[in-house]
Structure 1
Amino acid sequence: MIVDSLHNAAKYYGLHPNFKKAFDFVTQNDISKLEEGVLEITEGLKVIVIAGEGTTKEESIKGFECHDKNIDIQIVVKGPETYAWKPREKCVNPNGDYSDEKDVRFFHDKPDMFFQLQEKQFTILFPEDVHAAMIGDGSLKKLVFKVKI
Protein backbone atom coordinates (compact mmCIF):
# COMPACT_ATOMS: atom_id res chain seq x y z
CA MET A 1 0.00 0.00 0.00
CA ILE A 2 1.11 3.52 -0.78
CA VAL A 3 -0.38 6.72 0.65
CA ASP A 4 0.64 10.10 -0.75
CA SER A 5 -0.60 13.38 -2.24
CA LEU A 6 -1.18 14.13 -5.91
CA HIS A 7 1.75 16.55 -5.75
CA ASN A 8 4.06 13.50 -5.52
CA ALA A 9 2.29 11.25 -8.06
CA ALA A 10 5.20 11.25 -10.54
CA LYS A 11 7.29 9.26 -8.06
CA TYR A 12 5.09 6.23 -8.79
CA TYR A 13 4.94 6.31 -12.61
CA GLY A 14 7.59 3.59 -12.89
CA LEU A 15 5.59 1.04 -10.88
CA HIS A 16 3.20 0.28 -13.76
CA PRO A 17 2.89 1.61 -17.33
CA ASN A 18 -0.69 2.79 -16.70
CA PHE A 19 0.03 4.72 -13.50
CA LYS A 20 1.20 7.78 -15.46
CA LYS A 21 -1.92 7.57 -17.66
CA ALA A 22 -4.13 7.49 -14.55
CA PHE A 23 -2.47 10.52 -12.98
CA ASP A 24 -2.44 12.34 -16.34
CA PHE A 25 -6.22 11.83 -16.46
CA VAL A 26 -6.46 13.60 -13.10
CA THR A 27 -4.40 16.61 -14.22
CA GLN A 28 -6.19 16.89 -17.59
CA ASN A 29 -9.72 16.87 -16.17
CA ASP A 30 -11.67 18.86 -13.61
CA ILE A 31 -12.19 15.86 -11.34
CA SER A 32 -14.62 17.78 -9.12
CA LYS A 33 -17.07 17.93 -12.06
CA LEU A 34 -16.85 14.32 -13.22
CA GLU A 35 -20.18 12.51 -13.14
CA GLU A 36 -20.60 9.20 -11.33
CA GLY A 37 -19.93 6.18 -13.50
CA VAL A 38 -17.23 4.21 -15.25
CA LEU A 39 -14.89 5.60 -17.91
CA GLU A 40 -12.56 3.42 -19.98
CA ILE A 41 -9.31 5.33 -20.39
CA THR A 42 -7.18 2.82 -22.28
CA GLU A 43 -6.71 -0.93 -22.41
CA GLY A 44 -6.19 -2.16 -18.88
CA LEU A 45 -7.17 1.14 -17.25
CA LYS A 46 -10.56 2.47 -16.24
CA VAL A 47 -11.79 4.91 -13.65
CA ILE A 48 -14.89 4.64 -11.50
CA VAL A 49 -16.27 7.93 -10.18
CA ILE A 50 -18.04 7.33 -6.88
CA ALA A 51 -20.04 9.86 -4.87
CA GLY A 52 -22.12 9.10 -1.82
CA GLU A 53 -22.63 9.48 1.87
CA GLY A 54 -19.91 8.28 4.18
CA THR A 55 -20.57 5.30 6.36
CA THR A 56 -19.42 3.90 9.70
CA LYS A 57 -16.35 1.73 10.19
CA GLU A 58 -18.58 -1.20 11.15
CA GLU A 59 -20.69 -0.88 8.01
CA SER A 60 -17.71 -0.40 5.70
CA ILE A 61 -15.75 -3.45 6.85
CA LYS A 62 -18.65 -5.66 5.81
CA GLY A 63 -17.09 -5.09 2.37
CA PHE A 64 -13.48 -5.75 3.44
CA GLU A 65 -11.99 -6.72 0.07
CA CYS A 66 -9.01 -7.23 -2.19
CA HIS A 67 -8.45 -7.91 -5.87
CA ASP A 68 -6.41 -10.47 -7.79
CA LYS A 69 -6.22 -8.87 -11.24
CA ASN A 70 -6.20 -5.14 -10.55
CA ILE A 71 -4.37 -2.49 -8.57
CA ASP A 72 -6.58 0.29 -7.19
CA ILE A 73 -5.51 3.90 -7.21
CA GLN A 74 -8.10 5.67 -5.04
CA ILE A 75 -8.05 9.47 -5.06
CA VAL A 76 -10.16 11.57 -2.70
CA VAL A 77 -11.97 14.38 -4.53
CA LYS A 78 -14.22 15.39 -1.61
CA GLY A 79 -13.46 14.17 1.86
CA PRO A 80 -11.94 13.40 4.23
CA GLU A 81 -12.34 9.66 3.70
CA THR A 82 -11.19 6.94 6.10
CA TYR A 83 -9.94 3.53 4.97
CA ALA A 84 -9.56 0.21 6.75
CA TRP A 85 -6.52 -1.94 5.88
CA LYS A 86 -4.87 -5.27 6.63
CA PRO A 87 -2.25 -7.27 4.73
CA ARG A 88 -3.83 -10.13 2.82
CA GLU A 89 -1.29 -12.60 4.23
CA LYS A 90 -2.85 -12.06 7.69
CA CYS A 91 -6.48 -12.55 6.56
CA VAL A 92 -7.77 -15.99 7.46
CA ASN A 93 -11.58 -15.66 7.40
CA PRO A 94 -12.87 -15.56 3.80
CA ASN A 95 -16.35 -14.18 3.24
CA GLY A 96 -17.54 -16.25 0.28
CA ASP A 97 -15.65 -17.25 -2.84
CA TYR A 98 -13.56 -15.12 -5.17
CA SER A 99 -15.60 -13.52 -7.98
CA ASP A 100 -13.55 -13.71 -11.17
CA GLU A 101 -16.15 -11.58 -12.99
CA LYS A 102 -15.91 -8.71 -10.47
CA ASP A 103 -12.30 -9.41 -9.41
CA VAL A 104 -13.15 -9.25 -5.73
CA ARG A 105 -12.48 -11.40 -2.69
CA PHE A 106 -14.08 -10.53 0.67
CA PHE A 107 -12.94 -11.26 4.22
CA HIS A 108 -14.54 -11.28 7.69
CA ASP A 109 -11.21 -10.35 9.31
CA LYS A 110 -10.82 -7.19 11.38
CA PRO A 111 -8.57 -4.44 9.98
CA ASP A 112 -5.12 -3.88 11.45
CA MET A 113 -5.45 -0.14 11.03
CA PHE A 114 -7.49 2.79 9.78
CA PHE A 115 -6.07 5.80 7.95
CA GLN A 116 -7.59 8.99 6.63
CA LEU A 117 -7.07 10.73 3.30
CA GLN A 118 -7.79 14.37 2.64
CA GLU A 119 -8.75 15.89 -0.71
CA LYS A 120 -6.03 15.47 -3.38
CA GLN A 121 -4.47 12.55 -1.53
CA PHE A 122 -4.45 8.99 -2.81
CA THR A 123 -3.74 5.41 -1.91
CA ILE A 124 -2.45 2.70 -4.19
CA LEU A 125 -3.81 -0.67 -3.12
CA PHE A 126 -2.13 -3.78 -4.51
CA PRO A 127 -3.64 -7.30 -4.53
CA GLU A 128 -2.03 -7.96 -1.13
CA ASP A 129 -3.90 -5.00 0.43
CA VAL A 130 -7.27 -5.88 1.94
CA HIS A 131 -9.25 -2.68 2.33
CA ALA A 132 -12.60 -1.04 2.99
CA ALA A 133 -13.45 2.57 2.25
CA MET A 134 -16.10 5.30 2.18
CA ILE A 135 -15.85 5.74 5.95
CA GLY A 136 -16.71 9.28 6.96
CA ASP A 137 -19.31 11.90 7.73
CA GLY A 138 -21.25 13.70 5.04
CA SER A 139 -20.84 13.39 1.30
CA LEU A 140 -17.70 11.88 -0.20
CA LYS A 141 -16.42 11.76 -3.76
CA LYS A 142 -13.54 9.75 -5.10
CA LEU A 143 -11.94 8.29 -8.18
CA VAL A 144 -11.06 4.60 -8.22
CA PHE A 145 -8.70 3.68 -11.03
CA LYS A 146 -8.62 -0.01 -11.86
CA VAL A 147 -5.18 -0.82 -13.22
CA LYS A 148 -4.98 -4.30 -14.79
CA ILE A 149 -1.91 -6.19 -13.61
Structure 2
Amino acid sequence: MIFGNIRNLSEYSYLDSQIKECFDYVKEHDLMSFEKGTHKIDGDRLFVNIVEYTTTTPEERFWEAHRQYLDIHVMLDGPEQIDVNFIENMEQKEFQPEGDFLPLDGEPNSHVVLNEGDFLICYPHDAHRTAVEVDGPKAIKKAIFKVKIQ
Protein backbone atom coordinates (compact mmCIF):
# COMPACT_ATOMS: atom_id res chain seq x y z
CA MET A 1 0.00 0.00 0.00
CA ILE A 2 1.08 3.52 -0.71
CA PHE A 3 -0.90 6.44 0.71
CA GLY A 4 -0.25 9.99 -0.44
CA ASN A 5 -1.61 13.12 -2.07
CA ILE A 6 -1.29 14.12 -5.71
CA ARG A 7 0.16 17.52 -4.77
CA ASN A 8 3.27 15.64 -3.53
CA LEU A 9 3.83 13.41 -6.57
CA SER A 10 7.45 14.57 -6.92
CA GLU A 11 8.20 12.48 -3.81
CA TYR A 12 7.13 9.29 -5.63
CA SER A 13 9.64 9.22 -8.51
CA TYR A 14 10.33 5.54 -7.80
CA LEU A 15 6.82 4.43 -8.80
CA ASP A 16 6.30 2.17 -11.80
CA SER A 17 5.72 3.99 -15.09
CA GLN A 18 2.18 2.59 -15.36
CA ILE A 19 1.27 4.12 -12.00
CA LYS A 20 2.81 7.44 -13.05
CA GLU A 21 0.68 7.22 -16.20
CA CYS A 22 -2.43 7.22 -13.99
CA PHE A 23 -1.30 10.33 -12.15
CA ASP A 24 -0.54 12.04 -15.47
CA TYR A 25 -4.08 11.20 -16.52
CA VAL A 26 -5.42 12.82 -13.34
CA LYS A 27 -3.46 16.01 -14.10
CA GLU A 28 -4.58 16.11 -17.75
CA HIS A 29 -8.31 15.38 -17.30
CA ASP A 30 -11.13 16.88 -15.26
CA LEU A 31 -12.24 13.66 -13.59
CA MET A 32 -14.98 15.48 -11.63
CA SER A 33 -16.77 15.99 -14.96
CA PHE A 34 -16.59 12.27 -15.85
CA GLU A 35 -19.79 10.28 -15.65
CA LYS A 36 -20.04 7.38 -13.26
CA GLY A 37 -18.80 4.14 -14.85
CA THR A 38 -15.79 2.62 -16.61
CA HIS A 39 -13.63 4.75 -18.89
CA LYS A 40 -11.06 2.96 -21.06
CA ILE A 41 -7.60 4.48 -21.29
CA ASP A 42 -5.66 1.63 -22.92
CA GLY A 43 -7.98 -1.33 -23.41
CA ASP A 44 -7.85 -3.81 -20.53
CA ARG A 45 -4.30 -2.74 -19.59
CA LEU A 46 -5.43 0.51 -18.00
CA PHE A 47 -8.84 1.99 -17.27
CA VAL A 48 -10.53 4.11 -14.64
CA ASN A 49 -13.77 3.49 -12.80
CA ILE A 50 -15.56 6.61 -11.61
CA VAL A 51 -17.69 5.79 -8.59
CA GLU A 52 -20.16 7.81 -6.56
CA TYR A 53 -21.77 6.49 -3.39
CA THR A 54 -22.62 7.32 0.19
CA THR A 55 -20.25 6.03 2.83
CA THR A 56 -21.63 3.79 5.54
CA THR A 57 -20.69 1.70 8.57
CA PRO A 58 -17.96 -0.97 8.36
CA GLU A 59 -20.57 -3.66 9.05
CA GLU A 60 -22.33 -2.76 5.80
CA ARG A 61 -19.15 -3.12 3.73
CA PHE A 62 -16.97 -6.01 2.51
CA TRP A 63 -13.27 -6.81 2.25
CA GLU A 64 -11.57 -7.39 -1.10
CA ALA A 65 -8.24 -7.77 -2.85
CA HIS A 66 -7.23 -8.24 -6.48
CA ARG A 67 -4.74 -10.44 -8.33
CA GLN A 68 -4.88 -9.20 -11.93
CA TYR A 69 -4.99 -5.43 -11.37
CA LEU A 70 -3.55 -2.82 -9.03
CA ASP A 71 -6.12 -0.43 -7.60
CA ILE A 72 -5.25 3.25 -7.42
CA HIS A 73 -7.97 5.08 -5.50
CA VAL A 74 -7.93 8.86 -6.09
CA MET A 75 -10.42 10.88 -4.07
CA LEU A 76 -12.20 13.55 -6.08
CA ASP A 77 -14.75 14.77 -3.53
CA GLY A 78 -15.64 13.86 0.02
CA PRO A 79 -14.08 11.96 2.90
CA GLU A 80 -13.88 8.17 2.88
CA GLN A 81 -12.22 5.78 5.29
CA ILE A 82 -10.60 2.72 3.76
CA ASP A 83 -9.77 -0.05 6.20
CA VAL A 84 -6.65 -2.03 5.34
CA ASN A 85 -4.82 -5.23 6.23
CA PHE A 86 -2.72 -7.83 4.43
CA ILE A 87 -4.47 -10.82 2.86
CA GLU A 88 -2.21 -13.16 4.86
CA ASN A 89 -3.93 -11.86 8.03
CA MET A 90 -7.41 -12.47 6.64
CA GLU A 91 -9.63 -15.45 5.91
CA GLN A 92 -9.45 -15.77 2.12
CA LYS A 93 -12.53 -16.94 0.24
CA GLU A 94 -12.65 -18.34 -3.30
CA PHE A 95 -11.05 -16.03 -5.88
CA GLN A 96 -13.45 -14.94 -8.64
CA PRO A 97 -11.28 -14.41 -11.75
CA GLU A 98 -14.07 -12.94 -13.90
CA GLY A 99 -14.27 -9.86 -11.65
CA ASP A 100 -10.70 -10.06 -10.31
CA PHE A 101 -12.27 -10.26 -6.86
CA LEU A 102 -10.80 -11.99 -3.81
CA PRO A 103 -13.37 -11.79 -1.00
CA LEU A 104 -11.96 -11.77 2.51
CA ASP A 105 -13.09 -11.77 6.13
CA GLY A 106 -11.25 -10.28 9.05
CA GLU A 107 -10.47 -7.17 10.99
CA PRO A 108 -8.59 -4.03 10.01
CA ASN A 109 -4.92 -3.66 10.81
CA SER A 110 -5.20 0.08 10.15
CA HIS A 111 -7.09 2.56 7.99
CA VAL A 112 -6.59 5.67 5.89
CA VAL A 113 -8.95 8.56 5.35
CA LEU A 114 -9.04 9.86 1.80
CA ASN A 115 -9.88 13.51 1.25
CA GLU A 116 -9.74 15.44 -2.02
CA GLY A 117 -6.47 14.71 -3.84
CA ASP A 118 -5.47 11.80 -1.61
CA PHE A 119 -4.64 8.45 -3.17
CA LEU A 120 -4.19 4.87 -2.03
CA ILE A 121 -2.37 2.31 -4.17
CA CYS A 122 -3.41 -1.28 -3.35
CA TYR A 123 -1.20 -4.15 -4.48
CA PRO A 124 -2.31 -7.83 -4.65
CA HIS A 125 -1.53 -8.52 -0.97
CA ASP A 126 -3.38 -5.43 0.23
CA ALA A 127 -6.83 -6.18 1.59
CA HIS A 128 -9.11 -3.16 1.61
CA ARG A 129 -12.63 -2.30 2.75
CA THR A 130 -13.86 0.88 1.09
CA ALA A 131 -16.79 3.27 1.63
CA VAL A 132 -16.48 3.45 5.41
CA GLU A 133 -17.96 6.64 6.80
CA VAL A 134 -16.00 9.43 8.49
CA ASP A 135 -18.13 11.34 11.02
CA GLY A 136 -21.34 9.98 9.52
CA PRO A 137 -22.45 9.06 5.99
CA LYS A 138 -21.25 11.34 3.18
CA ALA A 139 -21.63 11.33 -0.60
CA ILE A 140 -18.27 10.87 -2.31
CA LYS A 141 -16.87 10.76 -5.84
CA LYS A 142 -13.71 8.82 -6.52
CA ALA A 143 -11.61 7.56 -9.41
CA ILE A 144 -10.30 4.01 -9.17
CA PHE A 145 -7.60 3.31 -11.73
CA LYS A 146 -7.12 -0.34 -12.63
CA VAL A 147 -3.61 -1.19 -13.81
CA LYS A 148 -3.09 -4.68 -15.24
CA ILE A 149 -0.26 -6.52 -13.53
CA GLN A 150 2.29 -7.50 -16.17
Preserved CA contact (<8 Å) 2:87 2:104: no
User: CA 1:13–1:68 in 2, change beyond 3 Å: closer, same or farther?
Assistant: farther
TM-score by length of 2: 0.90
CA distances 1:10-64 after superposition (whole Å, capped 9, x unpaired): 444543231122111111111211110101111411100000111111112xx20
Q: Matched residues in 1 for 2:123 and 2:36: separation?
A: 24
Q: Which amino acid aligns with 1:57?
A: P
TM-score by length of 1: 0.91
Q: Which amino acid aligns with 2:144?
A: V
Q: Secondary structure at the match of 2:99?
A: coil
Q: Matched residues in 2 for 1:66 and 1:7: separation?
A: 27
Q: Secondary structure at the match of 2:22?
A: helix
Preserved CA contact (<8 Å) 2:74 2:120: yes
Q: Which amino acid aligns with 2:75?
A: V
Residue 8 of structure 2 is matched in structure 1 by: 8
The one of 118, 121, 126 equivalent to 2:123 is: 126
Q: State the shift of 1:118 in Å.
A: 1.0
Residue 30 of structure 2 is matched in structure 1 by: 30
User: CA 1:13–1:19 in 2, change beyond 3 Å: closer, same or farther?
Assistant: farther
Q: Secondary structure at the match of 1:20?
A: helix
Residue 101 of structure 1 is matched in structure 2 by: 98
Listed as ranges, the matches of 1:56-135 within 5 Å are: 56-60=57-61, 63-91=62-90, 93-95=91-93, 97-135=94-132
Preserved CA contact (<8 Å) 1:10 1:20: no
Residue 144 of structure 2 is matched in structure 1 by: 144
User: CA 1:27–1:131 in 2, change beyond 3 Å: closer, same or farther?
Assistant: same
| Alignment length (residue pairs) | 145
- Structure 2 segments unaligned to the other structure (5+ residues): none
- Structure 1 segments unaligned to the other structure (5+ residues): none
**Comparing 67-76 and 105-114, the one that deviates more:** 105-114
Q: State the shift of 1:70 in Å.
A: 0.9
Preserved CA contact (<8 Å) 1:74 1:142: yes
Percent sequence identity is 30
